[in-house]
Structure 1
């Protein structure tokens, strides 16, 4: 097995070295387009990162798992082009984005939709897939509602409103007396109210709270039900940010979706053995992604319009 893994890494390295990689700017969005060598009109995947000011590699200011970079390398090695981009705020806030306090969650959807439009107009690709990781899955769902795409892939994506998800996560982590004021503040923000002052452990300035309201209240389930194209949902058993009910709710919302549950995969798409290994993996950019996840995503993007269903 080690020899096979080493060979695959060598193959990815050689393919990456030969791939055509170029910087792209679409409006204010900076992106990286990577095209596999010797493939005429390959399929292309728009890779959408999770929450925070995440860059085109899938790295943030503190956590650097390089999730999108590794996924791109693996897809390119399998003949699939990728477009990955810096989310708003990555590397600093640009004046082209307007005032930070005027940000709304749908701005992220606007960005992704404009990139889908760029890929379509280019005429270089046979098929367009949108691949969303974590919060990027919600962006991907809303983008697929707005812009026709050929494939939609949801990687470790929540089935709940983000405000409800955050409350559930914090309730597990904090003692009850510390959680209660935070939970009430999140409820108030979700209701469109301004919390001033906010709890110390939820230090969202009042001016930024309307933007958080827009993020906290987007529901993935109803828009997912309206998606008519092929969908793939993948989640992992060692993901401590989500629960299996999220996975089941997404697959129930689109009963024709393909789905894959990987017992050892965590939230940054690598296999881990325990809690300590899980935490360490968030800053191990060299750590390989789950191979079954990669195979499933590549096969789904590359396949014809065949049957849909459980993998």
Structure 2
């Protein structure tokens, strides 16, 4: 059964969906934290429906777990403020990375406090930025100590390093005529990315104009300087980290860093042929394949790996 809910966040009530299996509870549960950008509780945004958290919720329900997924601050129903007003559509550009972590911590506390949920068996599952946030929350959990953490496509290097790595991988996804033109014009993509980082670091406002585009400058500044390794090294709860072998947004080599950093029990899996969208990608890794990928579901093998790991690490119910 799924119920539309609102729960208190640091500066507003956030909107989400609580899904509970049939039968008597309390149930083990998971908080599902979506990725970067203006994504809603299902990991969808206007230009692309990823459905990652929605499909994770379905898999969890089938495995006997409750789940909470939510619209990020400034997105969809979480644009509604406590005074009844609604923020503009670009309001998602104002929060920083650590604001998003505070929202995730608030969601965890609310989920763990529900009568349907076994407070001692609440897990964090994050994808992309959501994995960074899951690590940050679990490293300093506050009133709720999660039973474990699942990190899907989680980087283990500072944001500026991750973005420069992405720039080195980008040419493989650019059409051949564009690659030829860039070579003729002697355009260095990595150098251009570094210059943009320097411009954004000089800003002080929540948003800023970069060329013709207004960007979420505060989030980018915090992301550039944030090193997930600091939080990963403080994780003492069981941790599962999964990255696809064809991920062009998170370096698959970071799985080795995660395995070395996490202080508690840790498992990693390099998922064969999966992209950052957690779908199988035939042929060479390419961002251009995303439009076709989203026509297919999240990889069933990945969902099975997550639910099987949860079953092995679920604390025994209190008697």
- Report the TM-score range of the alignment, normalised by the length of the smaller protein: 0.7 to 0.9
Aligned residue in 1 for 2:254: 246
| 1:30-179 equivalences in 2 (<5 Å) | 30-91=15-76, 94=79, 96=81, 103-126=95-118, 127-147=121-141, 148-173=145-170, 175=182, 177=187, 179=189
Query: CA separation of 1:282/1:267 partners in 2, compared to 1, >3 Å: closer, same or farther?
Result: farther
Indicate if the aligned counterparts of 1:163 and 1:190 stay in contact, CA closer than 8 A: no
Give the deviation of 1:293 after TM superposition. Answer: 1.5
Aligned residue in 2 for 1:182: 193
Separation in 2 of the partners of 1:276 and 1:185?
Answer: 25
Query: CA separation of 1:100/1:296 partners in 2, compared to 1, >3 Å: closer, same or farther?
Result: closer
The structure where helix makes up a greater share of residues is 1
**2:44 is paired with a residue of what secondary structure?**
coil
Indicate if the aligned counterparts of 2:50 and 2:277 stay in contact, CA closer than 8 A: yes
Indicate if the aligned counterparts of 2:34 and 2:53 stay in contact, CA closer than 8 A: yes
CA RMSD of aligned residues (A): 2.9
Give the deviation of 1:228 after TM superposition. Answer: 1.0
Separation in 2 of the partners of 1:102 and 1:50?
Answer: 16
Query: CA separation of 1:92/1:244 partners in 2, compared to 1, >3 Å: closer, same or farther?
Result: same
**Structure 1: gaps (5+ residues):** 1-19, 307-311
TM-score normalized with structure 1 length: 0.80
Indicate if the aligned counterparts of 2:148 and 2:313 stay in contact, CA closer than 8 A: no
The number of residue pairs the alignment matches comes to: 283
Aligned residue in 2 for 1:268: 277
Is 1:223 matched with 2:231?
yes
Moved more, 287-296 or 228-237: 287-296
Give the deviation of 1:196 after TM superposition. Answer: 8.1
Give the deviation of 1:96 after TM superposition. Answer: 3.5
Aligned residue in 1 for 2:175: none
Give the deviation of 1:145 after TM superposition. Answer: 2.1
Indicate if the aligned counterparts of 2:150 and 2:241 stay in contact, CA closer than 8 A: yes
Separation in 1 of the partners of 2:274 and 2:92?
Answer: 35
Separation in 1 of the partners of 2:305 and 2:192?
Answer: 42
Is 1:294 matched with 2:303?
yes
Indicate if the aligned counterparts of 1:145 and 1:226 stay in contact, CA closer than 8 A: yes
Separation in 1 of the partners of 2:77 and 2:111?
Answer: 26
Aligned residue in 1 for 2:177: none
Give the deviation of 1:143 after TM superposition. Answer: 1.1
Indicate if the aligned counterparts of 1:238 and 1:266 stay in contact, CA closer than 8 A: yes
TM-score normalized with structure 2 length: 0.78
Aligned residue in 2 for 1:309: none
Indicate if the aligned counterparts of 2:73 and 2:92 stay in contact, CA closer than 8 A: no
| 1:296-311 equivalences in 2 (<5 Å) | 296-304=305-313
**2:81 is paired with a residue of what secondary structure?**
helix
